[in-house]
Amino acid sequence: MAMQARLQQRDQEALRIGRAAVETRQAKDDPWLMALLHCRQAVGHARLGERSRAERSLSRAETAYGKASGRPAAWLSFLTPAEILGLAGAARQALGQHRKADELTSAALVRLEPRFERNRTYYTLQRAQALLDGGEVEGAVVQARRASDMVGRVQSARLRDKLAKVRTALERYPKVPLAREFCEQTRREA
């Protein structure tokens, strides 16, 4: 429910639901789940500009993840060190810390297992946005192009929308040849 609220830009509601989830016995007994919940809380706090709360949630996520052992429940199998880094990158991006977001997201992509192609596409787009917001237009285009090559294989409307937002942002740079070419090419393919 928290994820759905976040996707609909209802960040306060997502945080309330997330706080309730953190207090459940299931979360308290499962460091894997607790790590995920704290990561998502960090992103929520960051989206609301609550830097200290976001950083506290990231720290709690790392602590919980450090306590995890064995294998997570099957539905949490995506929660790897790469995912923790990627979510930390999302929080840093929301806080306007674009260079740190790029570093974390880049590290996530390096560590991400090949089987997580949807996550790879998502984090590649996240990196493109971080680079663009940090003023590195050509680097952003390189990442956006990689994501564009992947997005058709993962069949995700959410990722197509994220790619469209990156393309729209890149359209503000018509004097940068790579950006202009990318926008023209992806517009034709859309």
Question: Tens digit of pLDDT for each residue in 105-138?
Answer: 999 999 999 999 999 999 999 999 999 999 999 9
- What is the per-residue pLDDT for 91? 96
Q: How many residues does the chain have?
A: 190
Instruction: Say if residues 128 and 98 touch (Cβ distance below 8 Å).
Output: no
Report CA dihedral (120, 122, 125, 129) to the nearest 10 degrees: -130
Q: How far apart are the first and last CA of the chain?
A: 31
132 Cβ contact list (under 8 Å, min separation 6): 140, 166, 169, 170
Q: Find how far residue 9's CA is from the centre of its chain.
A: 15
Half-sphere CA count of 41, side-chain side, radius 13 A: 25
pTM of the model: 0.90
Cα angle for residues 61, 46, 161 (degrees, 5° grid): 100
Distance, in Å, from the CA atom of 14 to the CA atom of 107, rounded to the nearest integer, reads 27
| pLDDT, one tens digit for every residue, the chain (190 residues) | 777 777 777 777 888 887 888 888 888 899 999 999 999 999 999 999 999 999 999 999 999 999 999 999 999 999 999 999 999 999 999 999 999 999 999 999 999 999 999 999 999 999 999 999 999 999 999 999 999 999 989 989 999 999 999 999 999 999 999 999 999 988 777 6
What's the pLDDT score for residue 14?
80
Least Cα distance to 142 among 172, 117, 190, 177 occurs for 177
Strand residue runs (E) in the chain: none
> 3-class SS at 22?
helix
For residues 119 and 127, the answer to whether their CB atoms sit within 8 Å is no
